[in-house]
Amino acid sequence: MSPREPTSHRTKNSAVIPSEARDLYIWISGIFTGTKIHRFASGQGFPASPEMTIKDLFGRFVEDLPGERPTEYKNMPKNIAVVIGSFHHKEAEEMIDEVRDFAAKNDLKIVKETWVPGSMEKPLALKRALLDERVAGAVVLGIIERGETKHGLVMAQAVTSAIIGLQLDLMKPVGVGILGPEILPEQIPPRVRPYARNAVKALAEVLQ
């Protein structure tokens, strides 16, 4: 294949790679970052080494490459969703404000905000959000306060398990900022904003 005679290349997974060399470079750069292309290159029959970069692999086809990630992808906002419980509404507003503030300063774009009554409704809302093709990841916020029984503890375990399952099934990261379980009322105020910020910060780091 040469720049003068572009042809399409079909991978083993039947994904059609764009025929133009520059388009191919941009396409593959949108999936892989840094040097983590060894497995892909080897699997498609390209000569590759663990140290090989995208530029090494496609450099002979493309002139004046703009580095390992093309400028088209640099500093692009990453679309995220937020799912938040409304039972503790005042604290929830503080949490979502913290997420919005962090997102605005760190190239994250909130494209979907979903309010639900409580924690048990969060997994369904989260799944709907993650199935949106625009969404790269999500943040789940809320509070599971201590009650007279162990209901909150059981609920927290079920919700956490469901969230982890959705991450693995849909291959999209989720930052969890749920206070509790069994948190006491006096423990809530100083933790509201830090939990929310840590959740969206963790998501941002995974999406880099």
- Per-residue pLDDT reduced to its tens digit, 150-188: 889 999 999 999 999 999 999 999 999 999 999 999 999
Every domain of the chain and the residues it spans: 10-58, 78-207
pLDDT (0 to 100) of residue 148:
87
Say if pTM beats, i.e. exceeds, 0.85.
no
**Is residue 109 predicted with pLDDT exceeding 50?**
yes
The CA distance from 114 to 82, in Å, is 6
Window from 47-56, 62-71, 86-95, 133-142 with minimum mean pLDDT = 62-71
8 A C-beta contact, residue 53 and residue 35: yes
Reply yes or no on whether 151 is catalytic. Answer: yes
Residue 147 binned pLDDT confidence (cut-offs 50, 70, 90): confident
The CA distance from 57 to 125, in Å, is 41
> Which residue among 9, 38, 88, 151 is the active-site one?
151
pLDDT (0 to 100) of residue 178:
97
Rounded to the nearest integer, the mean pLDDT of the chain is 78
| CATH number of the 78-207 domain | 3.40.50.960
Mean pLDDT in residue range 11-33: 45
